[in-house]
Structure 1
Amino acid sequence: MADRTETEKRNLAKELAAAVRGEVSFAAADRALVTMDASNYRRVPRAVVAPLDAEDVAAALRVCREHGVPVVPRGAGTSIAGQATGVGVVLDFTRHMRRIVSLDPAARTAVVQPGVILDDLRAAAGTHGLTFGPDPSTHSRCTLGGMIGNNSCGSHSVAWGTTADSVRELELLTYGGERVRAGRGTGPTGAPTGLPPRLRDGVKALVDAELALLRTGYPDLPRRISGYALDALLPENGTDLARALTGSEGTLGVLTEATVRLVETPAARVLAVLAYPDESAAAEAAHTLLPHRPMTVEGMAADLVGDAAGLPKGGAWLFVEMGGASPGEAAARAEALCRAAAADGSTDHTVVTDPAGQRALWRIREDASGTATRLSDGSEAWPGWEDCAVPPDRLGPYLRDFRALLTQHGLRGTPYGHFGDGCIHIRIDFDLLTAPGIRRFRDFSHDLGDLVVAHGGSLSGEHGDGQARAELLPKMYGPELVGVFEQFKALWDPAAGLNPGMLVHPARLDENLRFAPLPKGPVPVEFGYPHDNGDFSAAVRRCVGVAKCRNTTTGPGSADVMCPSFRATGEEQHSTRGRARLLHEMLAGEVITDGWQSPEVRDALDLCLSCKGCRSDCPVGVDMATYKAEFLHHHYEGRLRPAAHYSMGRLPQWLHTAAPLAPALNALARTPLATVAKRLGGIAPERPIPALATETFTRWWWRRRKTTAGNEAPSDARTVILWPDTFTNHLSPEVGRAAVRVLEAAGLRPLLPPTAPLRQPGGAFPQPALPRLHRPPLCCGLTYISTGQLDQARRVMRRTVDVLSPLLQDGHPLVVLEPSCAAALRTDLPELLADDPRAARLARSVRTFAQALEELAPDWQPPRIDRPIAGQTHCHQHAVLGDTADRHLRARAGLTGTLTGGCCGLAGNFGFERGHYDVSVSCAEDQLLPAVRESPEEAEILADGFSCRTQLEQLGERRGRHLAEVLAEGLREEPGEDGG
């Protein structure tokens, strides 16, 4: 039997490869990437096919049909009901079929392929003052094909409706190979046009036979997404076949092209944020705002929003967007709405006219599908009842009953969503890991299905039924109408080859759960994973698949960092989600079978820059930099490592040894021997070797201290411990010298830590004339962590803790000039030394240069520079440390403008490693280099990270400087100052 299965697999692979011009993959990594979407479900496919065009789709369908293999169309994989997973061949439309075929501004239509990203269409339409109305929160990565498959909606549906309202014509291929051009209207016989005779006659016969049921069996509400929309085929509804097929979840045909309607966008928009005492009050009020013709009526409560800035005081809020022909008209409409809302229960309001302020608030709403997966106490919450909808005027009573049902089942969740359309999103703390928890999930789902129907609602109000709700469709429609659904499916797909198990003859809602194959107990790991109770599986489970890391529209001016490698390659395996999926499958052991030795996971993580952007930008806080370090530790444990791990991973050791020989080594780096050294060290041949400092920062410091003071103790509140990180010490000592100058000018007293632990607690602060060269330097462990050498990282970190702990007992801050080292001390150190309480205390003491000045010298006035700035906020600072203090300091110094986001692409050792150069440059070209090129000549290029400055220098752009250098240059020379 096994031999037969392998033979069939080989034959299928051979025939698909011969028939399809696009990519065909049976590889474990490619299959693992599509086992899940953004739902609770997981199914393992046989293969993944990325068709080039409609002919490729037809060829793939023919081969699959001949082999009896099912087919699942897939867009960005952000579906929340499980309909983008399957056991056969997955058709991936995001690789090639993503072209906007045409756009007609006069007719307000566009013709698109199924893989077109929504934001790409919106950008193209925006040049004509148009947009595509439906805008789900995943608009930066979801595809038009997926939206049509699920009948997606979004926050503007109160103004522009659902995707079904925006579809004009669909071109599809059935599993049987028939070509369909579905639109609106009928031919001479009264049958839908654009169908082959078999389907044309069959559809007409089915509708004619069920006229009464189709007219009475559907609830009347704006967000009715569940089931097949067969009522669209009624004569009085225009026999709209395109509308009937929208939301069919790929079960009837495979979309190859669509003609969609565009709508005119208002010239100005204003966001009115209305506060209410609680979510019930907000829900009760939402439908009363609809006569004011708002563009959005979105609801959120305090348990989701937290203490977000910019919100009026309240327990729940409605985000109501108003449009107008001018900013004044939009603002006037918003103020009128606020007055009406105040008379009907709103307790306060804020009108946000600033586009940046509006974007910040909308980001809270758009990230909710991720942030809601962690409740306030850190416990996990999951989809499954993500988007049921009721008539808008029933939302208040329904929400109260819904809350009561949660309590009855001992469950918790945070409702939010499209209150104006009666549609609620929620993540619930289901226990989907144990048998009792799964039974509760099933029981609750059945009870909630009854509750939704009792309120006249729809099981799905946006994301479709998929596997999550299709089992319950008889509750909503009754067995007779569900039987008609089955007839419709059998007519279009008699072989049941398209997305089987969805909508009709569904799998049980508690089958195929994604967590079932994961380890039942904790996996032995090195990091502490404090936010996941030390459980690596729980950390990996954080990725729920909303795919914000696949955002392709981030560009100059954006503050986001995640995910630079995906934006460079466009490959799912190089996104945060893709890597998390592979780690999930590694733990599951079914597709990825080699565990920590997996080459598939290793290769996917190879292009992870460890930028930590996902730690802050991912709505659920996936921390791929830490997962990568963990994996590399286990993968190479007891094995030979790549050369770069020995050269750059142990950089602090090499630089310490090389310091006395710096002049000679710098000279050798300009000879052909450098080529040999780079080859041996695994360094990219395109990279020049940075020059070593002929006098390290610490040597300069001790030499300076020898002439100014003896031994001193860090005894007063203005003392700061200045951390001599490896990069500043050996490669950029000018940054350290500048920082000392500025800190002293601000009235602070910087002291360097000793190179060995103090012998007596509270004893004198040792200040030898020069450090002993044989004594290893203090280190944050960064380079060891990024290469997964965690045993060595832990050793150097313990020594650092031993030395620094006595100095930090009195609350002295540890000022770190290099953002990546500060981030390592702030996060990696306490997570690797979770058993040492001193590590947490050290982490809390870490301050950036600007934070130290803001906290300890708040009244100090920096020199006025009065220049514009350009450059990039360091990715680790963005993700871990924050840049509020930096922005304040720059403003006080007259440094105007903003820094872009993203990652420079060098990212420590990443950009120096052989094979990474092209991706490194591509990352720099994403945001950093364009921002620098577009800046005025007089602009100061700020780059606090050594990697950022090196990337700028090596790629031939303008020189970047640390903020400390810029401020030091602005200070007046002091008498007797050693300029260093």
Structure 2
Amino acid sequence: MVGTAADDTRTTAGDETGGEGARLARLVAALREAGCGEVAADAGRRAQYSADASNYRRVPMAVVFPRERRHVVEAVAVCRRLGVPITSRGAGTSTSGQAVGSGVVLDFSRYLNRVLAVDPQARTATVEPGVVLDDLQAAAAAHGLVFGADPSTHSRCTLGGMIGNNACGSHSLAWGRTADNLVELEVLTYGGTVMTVGAMTGEEVAAAVAEGGERGRLVGALAELARRNLATLRTGLGRFPRQVSGYGLEHLLPEHGFHLARALAGSEGTCAVILSATVRLVAPPPARALVVLGFEGAGEAADAVPALLEHRPLALEGLDRALTGIVTRPATRAEIEALPPGQAWLFAELGGEPAELPERALALGEAAGRAAGFTGALTVTDPERARRLWRIREDGAGLATRMPDGSEAWPGWEDAAVPPERLGSYLRGFTALMDRHGLRGAVYGHFGEGCLHVRIDFDFGTDKGVATFRSFVTDAARLVAEHGGSLSGEHGDGQARSELLPLMYGPEVMALFERFKDLWDPDGGLNPGMIVRPRPVDGDLRVDPRRPAIPLATVLPLHADGGDLARAARRCVGVGKCRTAEHRGDVMCPSYRVTLDEKDSTRGRARLLYEMTQGQVISTGWRSPEVRDALDLCLSCKGCSVDCPVGVDVATYKSEFLHHHYRHRLRPASHYSMGWLPLLARPASRMPRLVNAVLSSRLSPLVKRLGGIAAERELPRFADRTFLSWFRRRPAPEGEAPRGPVTLWVDSFNNHFAPSVLRAGVRVLESAGYEVRVPPGTQCCGLTWFTTGQLGTARRLGRRTLDALGPSLEAGVPVVGLEPSCTAALRTDVPELLHEDGRARLLAESTVGLAELLVRSGWEPPRAGGRSISQTHCHQHATSGFDADAELLRRMGVDNTVLRSGCCGLAGNFGFEREHYAVSVAAGEQVLLPAVRAAGQDTAVLADGFSCRTQIAQGAGRRATHLAELIAEAL
């Protein structure tokens, strides 16, 4: 008889001595000896996997990354022998706490992530559990098919995780939940039995029992459980589609085919480990239309749902003003302002033949018009615009984590569902309940199926706040039960709701749940504490008043988070958008897209920074090698600051960390060679030919080695003459400047290496009617010091910049930047460093890019024509976007294509550093470099960033052009 697995195997850095330390060592040794794939038990890995997207935190003993099916079997065998519990994990986006555990975490997403087969005739696909939904959708789309369940996390959630939670998504209204789309599962029990389960006839059940063995025993016992409890299963379970809480025992009924695979959907890894899954595919409609319906409030929108369902929408989603009020992205804000007036909206998607959709959309709008509180309708048939609007809804789980005033909001009660006809009543009762407890939250969700999502401003930092949380969710559970609803509508119960299940189900049903669990997992080794025999709803909290953060004073003010690094790192709630591998026009996160390793995601880095503030698993504070290593492949691209729904800004946190980590210590060589490049370039520019000769001679390998530079990189050549030297010696321009003066920011990169860009900028600005001035002396924004964490020097340079620009700023003279990274530094980094200086805010407000200034002024550029492809610099993406550039190119008659390439991969010093070269090139090779190679010679390659142009030149052998040069050539 195998010993019962421990329900709680908590281990921290502080108690890995004696018994626990020895147990951990035995476990790791056994896992590695058995050949279970990659096994990690270092503090960094354990910290990364200590939380999911929920309120809970449990530090695992080890994380295993199985590479093949055999590794899973061996890992389970080792854990069974040693009595260690197992938690199966996909993308870790669960909001209920079922993807964290104190034993061994099996991460299927890294390697077991393939689509094994697609059968277009049978309309099925067989996949490994770690396959990302979008990858399955891409494989199915090749045959004109889709997988019906599509949660908002579709770009990173895995099929195994979807099965574990019985995920639904926006289109479950038409195509059902994950359970409804399962054909069969190949599973492994904690006891070591591998079996394939699906629907079974009475004859097949009898044959399995007669065959004997563990499979026969289990099938027979489950069939007996169903036979003895037919009335309870028929009346207590499966009452409406979103009744997901508990186990799906209704699928054991004979009229449902005694479908063991579907009964396991929603079991949260507590009964078996999934090895593979065969799923049903469906054919999507040929065309779709989005109809946005406005209402005076969310309650009125909910009341309208039953009548709208008669029009058979594919999806019927709801959101309120509290959610849209959090959106800051300018393009998305413009879309929101164009919506029908009101405080809440329903997004209804219709599918069918193109010719029939306008009439159906009109009929749907008329039906909504008969509802109380209706304010108007908007029909959208443009797929790109519809995608932008749907993005607001998809980003809801991230957007709602911050209230409009910046305060934190949390899951914990974000998934309840009631029958749609009772949604209005439930929503009003729920709103009153929040008011009674003094809580706020943004409501959104699957209104068409009665499922609401909401993040609430619980206060987990005080004992009183935790008590309020417990009281509120208990009252909310009773409210749901009164409305005939389900505590969970698609996210699963996990630790967030399992303790509350008796308020929804009576003792008879709860006893059946326990029996079901025990039949599958008699040793209790699979994800203990979930669904039955639950862990407390207010236990294991990620923010715990009994575990205050250690004080870590910061140089940067972190204004949005009150100067609190722990709170800043907590911005990451784990929704995992940074784990999206496909390029969709976002930048985040370049290194993750190369390595597909959690530690290189924005989430993984934020998780380690947070654990550093807790001082337990990561116990050495600013000196932490684990945090240093996790930040090592961060390109400081700033993509996460805008692409993350809650603005996790790892580039800023990295600068802060490096400042403290290397304080009074020897830094990496590249921090000196490239961090100090703007200063080193000044003497070099006085003798450029000699310097270039040395850098291209036999001494070049030695120079690179001493500077920490990759041997494969070609060093940029210094220009024969700097821009400043040219500008200050050129004749004064003739004629007046009707548009007045502008200050041209002379960045170090273009000044020393590509002065033609700045000269082109002067020509364009003067042609547009501006008087071009440059700052006195030789200035630098301090970018290279900021990104390498040398914040003291960066502050001094920032102050010099303010001193040099102060008079012109006060006179209202715009500062025009041509290098996007430096322009972004003037807009964001310098104001952060010198937040106490009012001139810094003025600098941020006065700094513009070339295209922004010209478009804003109404200047008509010369016609150029032709085709171009353009690479948007990461920092421009994060601060100003490409809209002004696109408009200017349109006015010039240029047929431009913006590459959806993300970061070029060079990113300042990153791509030059010896240890980062391979990742840098791999990032460029994902989209950018192949696109440049494929472009015809008559297609201009546009890239404003010096790093981008360098990567293109060295990786694709093409010269990229700055927008200023393109315009100047056309003048």
What TM-score, normalized by structure 2, do the two folds share? Answer: 0.95
In the other structure, the counterpart of 2:529 is 501
In structure 1, the residue matched to 2:365 is: 338
Give unpaired runs (5+ residues) of structure 2.
1-14, 326-332
Deviation at 1:735, TM superposition (A): 0.7
Q: Distance in 1 between matches of 2:950 and 2:899?
A: 17
SS of equivalent to 1:815: strand
Amino acid aligned to 2:423? L
Amino acid at match of 1:885: A
CA 1:708–1:144 in 2, change beyond 3 Å: closer, same or farther? closer
Aligned equivalent of 1:424: 452
C-alpha distance in 2, partners of 1:10/1:302?
52
Paired amino acid for 1:887: A
Cα distance, 1:94 vs. partner?
Answer: 0.9
Q: Structure 1: 5+ residue runs without aligned partners?
A: 756-776, 972-980
- 1:152 counterpart (150, 158, 167): 167
**What is aligned with 2:282?**
263
- Distance of 1:66 and 1:848 partners within structure 2: 63
Matches within 5 A, 1:735-884: 735-755=757-777, 777-855=778-856, 857-858=857-858, 860-884=859-883
Map of 2:592 onto structure 1:
566
CA shift for structure 1 position 167 = 0.6
Alpha-carbon offset, residue 521 of structure 1: 6.7
**2:741 corresponding residue in structure 1:** 719
1:539 alignment partner in structure 2:
568
Tell me the residue number matched to 2:927: 927
Asked if the contact 2:739–2:771 (Cα under 8 Å) also holds between the matched residues in 1, the reply is: no
2:187 is matched with 172
Q: How does 1:97-116 map to 2 (within 5 A)?
A: 97-116=112-131
3-state DSSP class of the match of 1:188? Answer: helix
Match of 2:322 among 297, 303, 321: 303
Instruction: Indicate the SS of the match to 2:294.
Output: strand
Q: Which shifted more, 521-530 or 293-302?
A: 521-530
Q: State the secondary structure of the residue aligned to 1:263.
A: coil
Q: Secondary structure at the match of 1:852?
A: helix
Contact 1:192–1:204 under 8 Å retained in 2: no
Q: 597, 609, 613: which is aligned to 1:583?
A: 609
Task: Output the amino acid matched with 2:492.
Answer: G
Query: For 2:245, what is the secondary structure of its paired residue?
Result: coil
| Partner amino acid, structure 1, of 2:248 | A
Query: In 2 relative to 1, CA 79–603 (structure 1 residues): closer, same or farther, beyond 3 Å?
Result: same
Structure 2 letter corresponding to 1:861:
E
Over 3 Å counting, the alpha-carbon distance change for 1:898 and 1:152 in structure 2 is same
CA distance in 2 between counterparts of 1:687 and 1:930 reads 19
- Distance in 2 of aligned mates of 1:531 and 1:381: 14
* In 2: Cα distance, 1:597 partner to 1:805 partner: 38
Distance 1:173 1:317 in 2: 44
Partner amino acid, structure 1, of 2:278: T
Residue 219 of structure 1: CA displacement? 6.0
Give the Cα separation in 1 of the matches to 2:390 and 2:934: 28
* In the alignment, structure 1 residue 226 sits paired with structure 2 residue 245: yes
1:125 equivalenced with 2:153 (yes/no)? no
CA distance in 1, matches of 2:957, 2:167: 44
Q: Are 1:522 and 1:537, in contact at CA under 8 Å, matched by a contact in 2?
A: no
Contact 1:171/1:257, CA 8 A, preserved across alignment:
yes
Q: What is the CA deviation profile of residues 435-460 of structure 1, one whole-angstrom value per residue up to 9, with x for unaligned ones?
A: 11111111100010111111111000
Partner of 1:476: 504
Determine whether 1:91 maps to 2:106: yes
Aligned residues: 940
1:279 pairs with 2:293: no
Please state if 1:551 is matched with 2:580: yes
Cα shift readout 1:584-608 (whole Å, capped 9, x = no counterpart): 1211222222211111111111111
Write out aligned runs for 1:50-449 (5 A). 50-188=65-203, 196-218=215-237, 220-306=239-325, 307-309=333-335, 310-325=338-353, 327-345=354-372, 346-449=374-477
Displacement of 1:308 in angstroms is 4.4
SS of the residue corresponding to residue 131 of structure 1 reads: coil
Cα offset, 1:351, TM superposition:
1.3
Shift of 1:276: 1.5
Q: Partner of 1:20 in structure 2?
A: 35
Deviations 1:908-929 (A, max 9, x none): 1100111111111111112212
Q: Tell me what 1:450 maps to.
A: 478
Q: Is contact 2:704-2:710 (8 Å) kept?
A: yes
List per-residue Cα deviations over 1:70-96 (Å, max 9, x = no partner).
011110100010000000011110122
Residues of 2 paired with 1:625 and 1:844: CA distance? 21
Instruction: Decide whether aligned partners of structure 1 residues 518 and 946 sit closer, same or farther in structure 2, where only a CA change above 3 A counts.
Output: farther
SS of 1:91's equivalent in the other structure is strand
Q: Which residue of 2 aligns with 1:529?
A: 558
Q: Distance in 2 between matches of 1:13 and 1:146?
A: 25
Percent identical residues: 57
Greater Cα shift, 49-58 or 515-524: 515-524
Check conservation: 1:331, 1:353, Cα contact below 8 A: no
**Map of 1:886 onto structure 2:** 885
2:330 aligned residue: none
**Cα deviation per residue 1:258-312 (whole Å; 9 max; x = unaligned)?**
1110011111111111111221111111222112111100111122123441422
Q: Does the C-alpha gap of structure 1 residues 614 and 189 become closer, same or farther in structure 2, counting only changes over 3 Å?
A: closer
* 1:77 and 1:545 in contact (8 A); partners too: yes
- Rate the CA distance shift 1:119–1:188 in 2: closer, same or farther, 3 A: same
Judged with a 3 Å threshold, the aligned counterparts in structure 2 of structure 1 residues 546 and 146 are, in CA distance, closer, same or farther, namely same
Find the aligned partners of 1:960 and 1:626 in 2 and give their Cα distance.
Answer: 29
- Partner in structure 2 of residue 513 of structure 1: 541
3-state SS, counterpart of residue 850 of structure 1? helix
Distance in 1 (CA, whole Å) between partners of 2:678 and 2:124 is 60
CA contact (8 A) 2:495 2:537 kept: yes
Give distance in 2, aligned partners of 1:577 and 1:655.
Answer: 37
- Paired residue type of 2:538: D
Q: 1:777-824 deviations in whole A, cap 9, x for unaligned? A: 211110001111011101110111112112111221111110000111
Q: 2:929 touches 2:956 (CA, 8 Å); kept in 1?
A: no
Alignment partners' CA distance in 2, 1:680 and 1:38:
43
- What do the CA deviations read for 1:380-417 (whole angstroms, capped 9, x no partner)? 10111111000001111111111111111100001001
Provide closer, same or farther for how the CA distance between residues 336 and 931 of structure 1 changes in structure 2, counting only shifts above 3 A.
farther
| 1:729 to partner: Cα distance | 1.0
TM-score between both structures, scaled by the size of structure 1:
0.94
Q: Which residue of 1 aligns with 2:8?
A: none
- Report the counterpart of residue 763 of structure 1 in structure 2: none
Distance in 2 between residues matched to 1:532 and 1:802, nearest whole Å? 29
Give the aligned partner of residue 490 of structure 2.
Answer: 462
CA distance in 2 between partners of 1:240 and 1:458 (Å)? 22
Query: Is this contact kept in 2: 1:20–1:51, CA < 8 A?
Result: no
